[in-house]
Every structure is written in C-alpha cells, then in structure tokens.
C-alpha cells in the first residue's frame, strides 16, 4: 500500500469530501488515501481569482501531508494549481489531475473534446493536446463545480459531449474533477459513443506509476 494525500480544492464535508478517494480506492486498491480540502471555498476553483486564493492553502496542505509521512500528494483539480511549486518543493511525487488527464488523452487518436468549468481548457490541456482540441467551451449553465451536481448540469454536460462528437472529437477529456464526482463518464461513453478520460482515474493511474518509479529509484 502507498500512503497518498489527496487535496480537494472545494470546501466539503464527508461524504462528498471522500468522493474522489472512494473512486481511486476502488480502481487502485494499492493506494491508501487520506483526503483533505482547502477551507473557505465552497464553490471551489473556477477562475483566476479563486485559483490565486486557493494556491497558498494547497501548498500548506501538501507540506502537511509530507510531514505526516505521505508518499505522494495528488492535487485533485484539473487546473493543477500549485503543481509546479510543489514539485520543486517536495521530494515525493506530486500529481495534478489536469496534466494526468491531458497526458492520458494524448495517447488516443484523433481530435479531443475537452469539458470543464472554465473558459477555455486549463494550461496543461493546451500545452499537451494543442490543436488536437476540437472544442473546450463550457457546458451551458455550468460555471462552478456545484452546478454539476444538478440534473440540469448533467444534461448540459451530455449535450456538450454530443456536440463535440459532431465536431469530430474521437474522445472526451474531463478538465474538471467534479465531472468525476458525478460519475458521468460511463453515460457519455454509452450515449455519445466515444471514450472518456476521467480526470480522477487518470490522476490515480499516474500516481501509481510515479510511486512505483519513486520507490524503485530509492
């Protein structure tokens, strides 16, 4: 078992606090995950202002995880806030959901549709996928992660995925981990007919790879 600290960038209490950990534990039983969230941001990170507010809180949580003996840290946010800072600061693997998901999607063929909650794809997606992104516009009526918890939000996501397929997308990449929280990937794959790269599952896969490599080097 690997001890992993998982940072949620939206202020939540159980059981929602454990939503991403539950997904990861089921998919990757070798991960022993402890979840913590930033305080004072009930609508999460959804623009530059909220990201800037979150970054020092994320850094503080990650450092505390390291002091508590965690072997890796996951920032469970597709915007990867504080990722580069923490990778330079901590001697353990630090995984970002966005970079993980974009890297996984890059291994697929053809054009990629990106669905998130920000205007335009986060930096890692633009850097890694470039002109393979066929569309990255917001689902209608979705401006923060809480909107995804409503039936209207779910239907808007499904409609955006269908639209992206019609534009030529051969796969969908999630640029928001809130989409993982609502478990919508299987419904998109069934109703739209394209594979989906789920950001939380991708962060878990890259955490396993990084931990295996990290342990091997030691």
Mean pLDDT of 56-79: 98
Do 167 and 86 share a structural domain?
no
Amino acid 214: pLDDT? 67
Residue pLDDT, tens place only, 16-49: 899 999 999 999 999 999 999 999 999 889 889 9
Cα 76 to its chain centre, rounded Å, is 5
What is the DSSP code (8-state) at residue 193?
Answer: -
Do 82 and 111 share a structural domain?
no
pLDDT at residue 213 is higher than 90: no
Do 144 and 182 share a structural domain?
yes
Do 107 and 92 share a structural domain?
no
Two tokens, residue 140: 């209608």
Amino acid 81: pLDDT? 97
Mean pLDDT of 142-168: 92
Contact residues for 123 (Cβ-Cβ < 8 A; gap 6+) = 79, 80, 98
Do 176 and 107 share a structural domain?
yes
CA distance 153 to 184: 11
Contact residues for 121 (Cβ-Cβ < 8 A; gap 6+) = 114, 129, 133, 136, 175
- 13: burial class by Cβ within 10 Å (0-12, 13-18, 19+)? exposed
Residue bearing the bigger pLDDT, 42 or 144? 42
Do 106 and 67 share a structural domain?
no
Do 180 and 207 share a structural domain?
no
Contact residues for 20 (Cβ-Cβ < 8 A; gap 6+) = 6, 8, 35, 76, 177, 180, 181, 200
Cα 186 to its chain centre, rounded Å, is 16
pLDDT at residue 218 is higher than 70: no
Do 133 and 59 share a structural domain?
no
Do 176 and 147 share a structural domain?
yes
List, in sequence order, every beta strand (DSSP E) within 9-103: 31-37, 72-75, 94-96
* Domain with 85 in it: 2-96+201-217
Which CATH number fits the domain that encloses residue 38?
Answer: 3.40.50.1860
Tokens 């920032």 -> residue: 75
User: Domain count of the chain?
Assistant: 2
CA distance 53 to 32: 29
Do 86 and 11 share a structural domain?
yes
Number of residues written out for the chain = 218
Mean pLDDT of 121-127: 96
Amino acid 146: pLDDT? 84
Helices then strands, each counted (H, E), the chain: 9, 8
- The pTM score is 0.94
Mean pLDDT of 156-165: 97
- The rounded mean pLDDT for the chain is 94
Mean pLDDT of 65-91: 97
Do 187 and 210 share a structural domain?
no
- Could you tell me the pLDDT band of residue 215, with boundaries at 50, 70 and 90? low
Strand, helix or coil for residue 182: coil
Amino acid 217: pLDDT? 46
Q: In this structure, are residues 80 and 99 in contact, taking their beta carbons and an 8 Å threshold?
A: yes
Mean pLDDT of 59-83: 98
Mean pLDDT of 75-83: 97
Amino acid 133: pLDDT? 98
Mean pLDDT of 64-75: 98
Do 82 and 148 share a structural domain?
no
């Amino acid at each position: 078992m690997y001890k992993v600290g998982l940072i949620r960038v939206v202020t939540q209490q159980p059981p929602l606090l454990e939503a991403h950990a539950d997904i990861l534990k089921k998919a990757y039983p070798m991960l022993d995950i402890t979840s913590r969230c930033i305080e004072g941001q009930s609508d999460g990170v959804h623009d530059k202002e909220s990201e800037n507010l979150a970054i020092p809180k994320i850094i503080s949580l990650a450092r505390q995880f390291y002091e508590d003996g965690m072997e890796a840290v996951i920032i469970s946010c597709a915007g990867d806030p504080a990722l580069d800072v923490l990778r330079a600061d901590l001697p353990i693997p630090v995984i970002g959901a966005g970079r993980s998901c974009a890297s996984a999607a890059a291994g697929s063929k053809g054009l990629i549709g990106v669905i998130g909650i920000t205007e335009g794809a986060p930096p890692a997606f633009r850097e890694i996928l470039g002109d393979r992104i066929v569309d990255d516009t917001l689902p209608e009526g979705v401006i923060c992660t809480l909107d995804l918890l409503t039936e209207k939000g779910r239907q808007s996501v499904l409609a955006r995925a269908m639209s992206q397929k019609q534009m030529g997308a051969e796969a969908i990449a999630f640029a928001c981990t809130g989409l993982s929280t609502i478990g919508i990937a299987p419904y998109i794959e069934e109703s739209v007919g394209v594979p989906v790269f789920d950001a939380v599952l991708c962060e878990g896969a890259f955490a396993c790879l990084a931990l295996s490599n990290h342990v091997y080097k030691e």
